[in-house]
A and B are shown apart, each in its own frame.
Chain A
Amino acid sequence: MTGPKRVPAMTPNDAKRPLQLNDQGRLRHFLSLDGLSRELLTEILDTADSFLEVGTRAVKKVPLLRGRTVCNVFFENSTRTRTTFEMAAQRLSADVITLNVSTSSTSKGETLFDTLRNLEAMAADMFVIRHADSGAAHFIAEHVCPDVAVINGGDGRHAHPTQGMLDMLTIRRHKGGFENLSVAIVGDILHSRVARSDMLALRALGCPDIRVIGPKTLLPMGLEQYGVRVFHDLDEGLRDVDVVIMLRLQRERMQGGLLPSQGEFYRLYGLSTARLARARPDAIVMHPGPINRGVEIESAVADGAQSVILNQVTYGIAVRMAVLSMAMSGQTAQRQLNSESEEQI
């Protein structure tokens, strides 16, 4: 018998490099805002600002991604997000393929895996993924095609990081920064990937007062980890805020017993002109769209002077251009690092 050997303690959660960053700490995928530094988020916003200028030119197109292929793979319908991603990729001169894949026909997992493997074989350089399952983009980046840049175009309730960043660009362009802001997010936080991404981004960018407003049935557990204040009363929550982000309310929430009716929701949490008066006079009103007029927001507010809802759409293209080009750049650099280290072996 040999003497006692030292047995290292078991660690169930190995620390690993964040999936979406390359060895140099630059974006190679864009899956979530979790773990991204303030500097990186600011860089995205700065780059988006530059692309915003491109949109004002005679030729609204730069040759940055010429010869690259971007595949938009949408397992869930979304005309707006899909269109802005297409437009962003086209303005970067990439070739764009868009696929709408129905998840109902075959076994979900296999379709996803096989579809993407096939596209990868066609030499796609980047995937923009929209999927109803939380974590779908992570899964693809980790297990399906780690060498293709994966952009999360919305996964389940988890994250919608490009929407989060376009919201931040909107706030920065209208409010100049985040340091002294009060921002309220109103409505169905529980099911909202937009809310989760907004909360993470606001916190990372240094917003000192983030509020979420909604009934308990529409709030997830553990909101404290986002450093937000929870309000159940709209008037109280909106007091003196600089930014109001309204969320879309899906009709099926009524069937699930989360809410009695659209009418009652509007009465309690709908943003009307009178309600908005609680906020600061120069407060801006945002909404990820598409809006349900009379359900979460009054038309007069949606179309009013304080609404920046249409600006958000414009900013969305610039933010997506920034993210697409940054992730493509980081992924390319990582591939080079990998091939260099292979050569050394």
Chain B
Amino acid sequence: MRTRILGARLIDPTSGLDRVADLYLADGRIAAVDQAPAAFEADETLDARGLIAAPGLVDLSAALREPGYGRKGSIASETRAAAAGGVTSLCCPPLTRPVLDTPAVAELILDRAREAGHAKVFPIGALTRELAGEQLAELVALRDTGCVAFGNGLASFASNRHLRRALEYAATFDLTVVFHSQDAALAEDGLAHEGPMAGFLGLAGIPETAETVALARDLLLVEQTGVRAHFSQLSSARGARMIAEAQARGLPVSADVALYQLILTDEALADFSSLYHVQPPLRSRADRDGLRDAVRQGTIQAIASHHQPHEADAKLAPFGATEPGISSVELLLPLALSLVQENVLDLPTLLARLTSGPARALRLPVGRLAAGAPADLVLFDPEAATLAGERWLSKGRNCPFIGHVLPGAVRYTLLDGRISYQA
């Protein structure tokens, strides 16, 4: 299969490439930029004039809900939704049923993802069995099956000693650990950022210190054990500053933020809409601005969807009785482009945080637009608009952005040179 992509503006954050040129794909890879390789005969030509071609988006966290949560989503449905959002590679968190703590579960996920063929799936394995925070999972066996990193979600460890040992073990084999730093006791029963809004609504608060206290401990243990660490789903400005300080003193840690944390604040909770119930919670405007700064400066090198699809019933209850999470992977690109529209980020920086940044964080062999790289691409029209929810592929409709008009529209997503989504 050979494809010629005609006249797109090519942007590759890694190389700094940003100009209009033709692109030649062959055998699932990018064969050449500008000039066709010798004897290149295209089976297909995509007229991409007016479109931007970028590396396919790399999403460090999208829950696929399979195995175990079929009412919320499946690997097929959610990877298909991801392709519509411009995503070609994604990591799925280990909170499945059974938990992704054995090679069998990892294999099942990888097989299903290959069958579906909508996106490359890189599983994140459970750091401990059942995510219980006590006994280590078989990390090396999981790595050999295809897990790219290990985490324990928001579930806490039985003790700091258990955590330290898990990190030491992971460090032995140069495995990456994904942290969701939130102190379970400080966050206990909490539903919303501890601030004026939670106080007003009478929702139990999750203080900023739930994040920063855990983050301080985690950073110290990372320093001590030398483990490769990635901090996921940062929610506070203070937390982002702590990451920056750690990076400044030479600790090689990376971080990501949920895209919705860069857009929404706890003010959205005013009407008790369960669509805004997320964990960690939406925080203050100052926190959002701090996170935006950290993304701009590169302290936070990845923006992830933290896609969490739910069945309707999961959100159909009073706020505190609902399940947290937003279904948003299929809006990843247009929703992210709203940050460019609002002058929060420039387009090349945004694309870096959505492609090369996350790929580097977890050492994924994707996220580049260059000759020889896999032909994972997104082609989008920056001048068109997306009416969110006009079509909806995810099983979870729990998305507060449905009905909004978002800037930019994905026209094609290509996975290994093949069209995985076409508008």
Interface, chain A (partner B; CB < 8 A): 1-5, 7-13, 19, 34, 108-110, 112-113, 131, 133-136, 138-139, 142-143, 155-159, 193, 196, 220-225
Residue B320 lies at the interface, judged by CB distance under 8 Å to chain A: yes
Residue B384 lies at the interface, judged by CB distance under 8 Å to chain A: yes
A3 to B316, CA, bound (A): 42
Q: Which listed residue (A1, A112, A135, A139) contacts B49, Cβ 8 A? A: A1
B319 touches A222 (CB 8 A): no
Q: Which listed residue (A2, A12, A110, A139) contacts B263, Cβ 8 A? A: A12
The majority secondary structure among interface residues of chain A is: loop
Interface, chain B (partner A; CB < 8 A): 49-50, 191, 194-205, 263-264, 267-268, 270-272, 274, 313, 316-322, 338, 341-342, 383-385, 400-401, 404-407
Q: Which listed residue (B195, B200, B319, B404) contacts A10, Cβ 8 A? A: B404
A225 to B341, CA, bound (A): 32
Given A7-B385, A10-B406, A12-B268, A139:B195 Cβ within 8 A: no
Please give, as numbers and ranges, the residues of chain A lying within 8 Å of B195 by CB-CB distance: 221-222
CB proximity of B31 to chain A, nearest CB, Å: 26
B317 touches A223 (CB 8 A): no
Please give, as numbers and ranges, the residues of chain A lying within 8 Å of B405 by CB-CB distance: 7-8, 10
Q: How many A-B Cβ pairs are below 8 Å?
A: 119
CB proximity of B83 to chain A, nearest CB, Å: 23
18 further A-B pairs in the complex, CB-CB below 8 A; given A13-B270, A221-B198: A1-B49, A7-B341, A7-B385, A10-B341, A12-B268, A12-B400, A13-B267, A108-B317, A109-B318, A134-B203, A134-B272, A134-B319, A134-B320, A135-B203, A135-B272, A135-B318, A158-B202, A222-B199
The majority secondary structure among interface residues of chain B is: mixed
Selected A-B contacts with CB under 8 Å, 7 pairs: A5-B383, A7-B385, A131-B318, A138-B318, A143-B316, A155-B202, A158-B203
Who on chain B is nearest to A158 by CB?
Answer: B202
B319 touches A1 (CB 8 A): no
A34 to B264, CA, bound (A): 22
Q: Which listed residue (B50, B202, B320) contacts A159, Cβ 8 A? A: B202
A5 touches B384 (CB 8 A): yes
Who on chain B is nearest to A16 by CB?
Answer: B271
Please give, as numbers and ranges, the residues of chain A lying within 8 Å of B341 by CB-CB distance: 7, 9-10
A326 to B338, CA, bound (A): 44
A193 to B203, CA, bound (A): 11
B201 touches A135 (CB 8 A): yes
Q: Which listed residue (A8, A110, A135, A221) contacts B319, Cβ 8 A? A: A135
Please give, as numbers and ranges, the residues of chain A lying within 8 Å of B404 by CB-CB distance: 10-12
